[in-house]
Amino acid sequence: MRMGRSAVTRFVEFDVDAVTLARRLLGQRLVSVRDGERVAGTIVEVEAYVGVHDLASHAKRGHRSPRNESMYGPGGLLYVYFTYGMHHCANVVAGCVDDPVAVLIRGVVPTEGLDVMQRRRGPRVRERDLASGPGRLTQAFALDREDDGRDLRVDRGVMIERARSRALPARRIDCTPRIGVDYAGVWAEEPLRFVARA
């Protein structure tokens, strides 16, 4: 027998286009477990990087290197890169093998392990800044290049848990151009950033 549209799947499915995955990730729960310390939060801001033709993407013009190799893997891999000499950013790979599309996680609202996040981020950081920003959330969740290529579908250290069975309705999502991609010409204007309304 076939699963209907309303069938409840336990896990997020990743083998879809980047925009679909971006919208699907909003409201779901990012989790990391490090040395038995579990932290978690709700994904509230993401950006889609939609393919080799997307001049804002690390895979633009089909570029492939040790850094972005994970983008060429199956949907569900984690792509973590290092930038500006001090920050890590985390993406969820979408699509299928050899189709380098991904979703950058830009903002999470902490729900579990706030004390752990505070320790990692520093004592002067305000609660609402713990994981609001792509570099901030990797620090709060302790994600770095060691985590690049992990498979979120099976990994026990980093995962995305289904916190809601249906995607957020479109009216609960704000759509804007992506941040920090002014170098990308017309692609800088594309509305590929998605933010869950407060």
Partner DNA sequence: CCCGTGATTTAT
Partner DNA sequence: TAAATCACGGGG
Binding site for DNA (CB under 7 A): 47, 49, 56-59, 63, 65-68, 71, 79, 82-87, 89, 91, 102, 104, 121, 124-125, 129, 133-137, 178-181, 183
Tracing tokens 């869950």 back to the chain, one arrives at 196
Of 8 and 195, nearer to DNA (C-beta) is: 195
Q: Cα dist. 143→133, 140, 147, 161 in Å? A: 13, 8, 6, 17
Of 1 and 86, nearer to DNA (C-beta) is: 86
CB of 4 to DNA, least distance (A): 34
CB of 96 to DNA, least distance (A): 17
Q: Residue 58 has which token pair? A: 């690390």
Residue type, 168: L
Tracing tokens 């040790």 back to the chain, one arrives at 66
CB of 117 to DNA, least distance (A): 12
Of 64 and 162, nearer to DNA (C-beta) is: 64
Residue type, 195: V
SS3 call for 28: coil
